Each structure stands twice: as C-alpha cells, then as structure tokens.
Amino acid sequence: MADGPLIVQSDRTVLLEVAHPDAETARHELAIFAELERAPEHIHTYRITRLGLWNARAAGHDADDMLATLDRWSRFPVPASVSMDLRETVNRYGRLVIERADVEGFGEGVLVLRSTDNAVLAEVSRNKRISPLLIGRPTPDTFVVDAWARGQIKQELLKIGWPAEDHAGYTPGTPHPIELAEDGWSLRPYQRTAVDIFSDGGSGVVVLPCGAGKTLVGAGAMAATKTTTLILVTNTVSARQWRDELLKRTSLTAEEIGEYSGQVKEIKPVTIATYQILTAKRGGQYAHLSLLDALDWGLIVYDEVHLLPAPVFKLTADLQARRRLGLTATLVREDGREGDVFSLIGPKRFDAPWKEIEAQGFISPAVCYEVRVDLPVDERLEYAASADEDRYRLAATAPVKIDVVRDLVARHKGEQILVIGQYLDQIDELAEALGAPKITGAVPVDERETLYQQFRVGEVPVLVVSKVANFSIDLPEASVAIQVSGSFGSRQEEAQRLGRLLRPKTNGHTASFYTLIARDTVDQDFAQNRQRFLAEQGYSYTILDADQVAAA
C-alpha cells in the first residue's frame, strides 16, 4: 500500500492530505481534471466532473494520463468503477465530429455531424432538441446540420453528454497585417505555448493568472491570425488598457484601433468593445448587434470570459464560423454556465497554474490572511434579529472593520495599498476614515484613469475601490489589498482581487492579501467558499485575530 497524499473514492471525490510532502505536486496534477469543492485546513476535497475531464482532454490530456495521476498519488487502490467511468467519460469527447463536406443535394462545404458510432448518432438524432437541427442523412454515419445551428447543436450535445469536436473550420476574415513589435521584449515561454496551442485549435480558452500577461497572449493570437479582430472587454478602462498595450507591443497604429463603448463608436480593423454596449437594449432590441457584422472579423477575443454576460452567449452561438479566444484567470462562473463557455467559446486549450508562474518569477509571490473581528454586543444582537437577506450586509459592513483597516494601513506604511469594498456607503466611510480617494462606478472614466495613474507612480499610496477595480486594471506596484466586503461567496471575485497584487514588483516585495471577516456570521461562511479557488491554486490563509493586527 502506497503512502500517497490522495484518497480516491467511489463517488468520484478525491481527498488530498494537505500536510503530505507530495501534496503540492499531486494537487498540481489533479487540478488539471478535477475541481476543488472544499478546502478546510487539513483535507481538501476534489470532485471529478464530466466537464473537467472533457476540458482536460481538449487540452491534450488523455484518460491514461489522468488515471496515472490517480494511481501514482493514491494511498489506496483507485476504485475500479472510478477508473472505468473516467475512461468512458473521456472517450465520449470527440466521438461526434462537426465538419464541412460536399453533400449531394445540399451543396459544397455544408455543415455535417459525423460519427463512426451509429448508436451514438441514433441516440442524439432522436433527442427532441437536436432532431430539428438535423436536416438530412446522406450516409449512415452523417447528418446534415442546419447552417445556422452550429453553436446550438454543440450546446445541446454537451447537455446530453456527447461533446462534439468542431472541425468545421473558420472564415479567415479580412486579412490585416499585425506583427508583434518584439523590440526589447518577447513572449514568455508559457505565453508562446498558449498562442501556439490556440492557433492549432482555432478556438478555445486560455487560463492564466492575473498579472501573467493575458493581453499579450491576445496580441500573439492576433499576430498569428493576421486578420480583423473584435476584442470584447469588461469596461472602458479595460478597453483603453488593451489599446495602449497593443500600441506598445504590436505593429498596430492608433488609426487601426477603434473603441466602441458608451462614449465612443469607432469601427476599425481592430475594434475594442465593451460587453455593456453589446448588451445594451433600445426599444427591447439589442441596439448594437450590427457591430458583430460591421466588418468580416477573423478573430473575436473575449477578455475575462468568466464574466461573459448571458446575452452574449446567445450572440456567440451565431459566431461559430469566427475564431474565438477566451481569456480568463478562472473558468469558475457563479451562474454555472461553464458548459456554455466550453461549447460556444471553445474548450480550455491552455492552463498555467498560478504557483508555477510564480516559481518562474513572472508573477509576485503573495501571502493571504483572514482577519477575524468580533461584532460589538449591540450589533451582534441586531444581526441575530435580522432577516436572512439582511445578515450578510450587516456583517460585511460592520463599522468595527474600519479600525482594523486603519491598523493594516499603518502596518504597511510606504507600500501601495488597495482597500476593496462591495457597498458604496462603506466605501464612502473608508475613504473618509483613511483620507484616501475612492473609485466607484459613479466616478467618470477619465477621473478613474487619472487616479489609477497617480496610484501607479506613488502619488496616491492608498486607494479605496469598489468592484469596478476587480477586472483588467493594471496596477503593478500594488503590494497590499485589504478586502473589507465582497460579492457573497464569489470565488471568481477572490481570484480577481488577489490578481490585483500579482504583477511582479520592481522591489521584489511579497504581496499581502487581507480579508476582513466578522466572526460567527455568514460573512465567515461566505469567506470559506471564496477561498476555495485560491486553495486550488496553492495559496493558504493564515488566520489572524483583529487584536493581533492592532498589536503588530
């Protein structure tokens, strides 16, 4: 019997003993195909899911690789049922193929669904949501798919457990010369690998830590495809950062890059648009859908793909003939639509673990702390008497947290500090208590950019921010984040907020990430869920009492 760090159970859960000397290596290999469910101090629980297995398969890992990981690190023999189920699930990926073929009576280059397994074809063709999308059966192993239904059929096939590999190809789009201006810099090895794998696959998602240069992967993909490109981003500040980075890192000029947002409506060979403008409605209709056909786009880049608004999934279903690149730090979606990312944007093509990139020196090391505060008796009684829907806000915005924030700011005097909150009234109180500027959604974009720049150069040492700073904001010298409140149990938000700190520091500083928690409340319960993602990446939290912070 081996003394490994894993215990594989017949319900497809895997237990990881955190203190085991091989735990870090085993976790790194296991995370390729299993999802972390719970991460308390000593034993972490992973679950092997169908989507996790198919994403791993699409990224080049086969069933033998995954079973070898389990066998190598498991303390007890892997249950035979798990081995069989894993192998059969992995082998479902690619049994159905979507491609183009010349079909008599239908024309040249029509969309077909093909399989050498007639039983599988019979099963899917009888599905009531799939059969209307199939308009002919020219051969026993082929169905003709309605031309518009490429995205929808992939969604429906995934739902019934038969994910199709899409080999139907892509429109090249209008050619446009784009080169990387590798003048004094070059793509890092993992960025080059991500670009190469995406280029071979044609569509899919690249998962990289915040601060690891996802924008440069996007630029590399653009240089590889050399075509008109539509880039979709979370907000206007992000759009301008993309523009600045493309101007710096590629041969593109300002005249070739357009911004399409609430403020500006430019369409250029490379156009950067916000998700908000694409989902804006006028008279009940999407007012800017014409952007999707304004040019013959050869590439569409989805920045922060884990935040893709639901309406954009429907629009993306109609864009399957365009190459699609999703960029994200985490495939976790709080709405559970990871399957739609897989089927409509594409499967995960490349995933670089955070700690691996940190070990290479490309992102800053970070230590995480959970600071627990006690509610005063009167606030504790108010919390106890409150309705369930009010309890999180009461706990998250407890005034006692403000003194702890002051102590932490004093503790890190001389560093660049972000104080992050969810609630506007709390942000106002924090800004006033610290004498620091604040950034919320109400602050105009130009003023936000000015404050960000002042923070970058050290003129503003402390910045109080709302969730508008969670995404795509480049603040490389930020070395301390103090999270006072957040979006309930959002794991993706936890990842993004830590990501604000991970740009490598010129002084080599280790970053510090603090989360303030009201003890014995739902604030503490939600925090445990938020921390799951970071535990999966190899980060652990040190628990501090508020008194320890004050005494430091």
Last residue of a domain, one of 339, 358, 377: 358
What's residue 327's pLDDT? Answer: 94
Q: Is 153 a domain residue?
A: yes
Q: Which phi-psi region, left, alpha or beta, contains residue 250 (left: φ > 0; alpha: ψ -120 to 50)?
A: beta
Torsion of CA 142, 143, 144, 148, to 10 degrees: -130
Separation of alpha carbons 285 and 282, rounded Å: 5
Residue 314 and residue 379 in one domain: no
Rg of the chain over CA atoms, in angstroms? 25
Q: Is 290 a domain residue?
A: yes
Contact call for residues 311 and 276 (beta carbons, < 8 A): no
Residue 104 and residue 79 in one domain: no
Q: 3-state class of 68 per DSSP? A: helix
Q: Count structural domains, the chain.
A: 4
Residue 318 and residue 396 in one domain: no
Q: Is 381 a domain residue?
A: yes
Q: Is 181 a domain residue?
A: no
Instruction: Report the relative pairing of strands 229-233 and 203-207 from DSSP bridges.
Output: unpaired
CATH code (residue 511): 3.40.50.300
Residue 368 and residue 353 in one domain: no
Residue 534 and residue 419 in one domain: yes
Residue 201 and residue 67 in one domain: no
Q: Is 405 a domain residue?
A: yes
Last residue of a domain, one of 317, 342, 358: 358
Separation of alpha carbons 279 and 35, rounded Å: 31
Residue 46 and residue 15 in one domain: yes
What's residue 505's pLDDT? Answer: 65
Residue 31 and residue 16 in one domain: yes
Give the residues of the chain that fall short of pLDDT 50: none
Separation of alpha carbons 5 and 75, rounded Å: 6
Residue 385 and residue 526 in one domain: yes
What's residue 491's pLDDT? Answer: 62
b/e per residue 510-522 (b: at least 16 CB within 10 A): ebbbbbbbbeebb
Global pTM value: 0.83
**30, two tokens:** 């296991």
Separation of alpha carbons 453 and 192, rounded Å: 29
Separation of alpha carbons 68 and 196, rounded Å: 26
Residue 245 and residue 394 in one domain: no
What's residue 285's pLDDT? Answer: 81
Q: Is 343 a domain residue?
A: yes
Q: Is 329 a domain residue?
A: yes
Residue 313 and residue 210 in one domain: yes
Residue 374 and residue 311 in one domain: no
What's residue 304's pLDDT? Answer: 87
Name the strand (E) or helix (H) holding 217: helix 214-225
The sign of the CA dihedral 394, 397, 403, 409 is positive
Instruction: Report the relative pairing of strands 462-465 and 416-420 from DSSP bridges.
Output: parallel
Separation of alpha carbons 300 and 323, rounded Å: 6
Q: Is 494 a domain residue?
A: yes
**395, two tokens:** 């706990």
Contact call for residues 415 and 509 (beta carbons, < 8 A): yes
Last residue of a domain, one of 54, 71, 92: 92
- Structural domain of residue 104, as residue ranges? 96-162
